[in-house]
């Protein structure tokens, strides 16, 4: 019985130029118009700037920590700003 021979094959690097072309060629310029919609007063003494993004049709809060300490804050502490989906939708 003859011993089993194993061969190792070097992986071809022909995929590398294709991957580079795809990564560099598919990334186009990103462009959106951001519109200042003014201040939103929450009725509890807080206010935040609203910024409308025309590209994806949503309004962003100008302060990422605005929810911290609000009635919608449902995280571990009442000042961490974490919200459940339901709290954020209310």
Q: pLDDT per residue over 7-39, tens digit each?
A: 555 555 677 777 767 667 666 677 778 999 999
Six token digits for residue 54:
């025309």
Angle at the Cα of 49 (from 35 to 67), degrees rounded to 5?
A: 130
Overall pTM surpassing 0.85 (yes/no):
no
Q: Are 68 and 83 in contact (CB under 8 A)?
A: no
Six token digits for residue 62:
């100008």
**CA of 72: how far to CAs of 10, 11, 26, 40, in Å?**
57, 54, 40, 16
Q: How far apart are the first and last CA of the chain?
A: 76
Q: pLDDT per residue over 46-90, tens digit each?
A: 788 999 999 899 999 888 887 787 777 777 777 777 888 887 787
Q: Which residues pair with 40 in a beta bridge?
A: 48
Q: How would residue 6 be classed by pLDDT, with cut points 50, 70 and 90?
A: low
């Amino acid at each position: 019985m003859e011993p089993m021979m194993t061969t190792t094959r070097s992986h071809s690097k022909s995929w590398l130029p294709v991957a580079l072309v795809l990564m560099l060629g598919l990334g186009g310029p990103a462009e959106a118009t951001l519109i200042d919609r003014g201040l939103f007063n929450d009725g509890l003494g807080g206010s935040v700037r609203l910024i409308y993004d025309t590209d994806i049709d949503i309004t962003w809060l100008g302060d990422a920590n605005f929810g911290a300490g609000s009635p919608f804050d449902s995280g571990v502490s009442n000042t961490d700003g974490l919200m459940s989906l339901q709290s954020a939708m209310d």
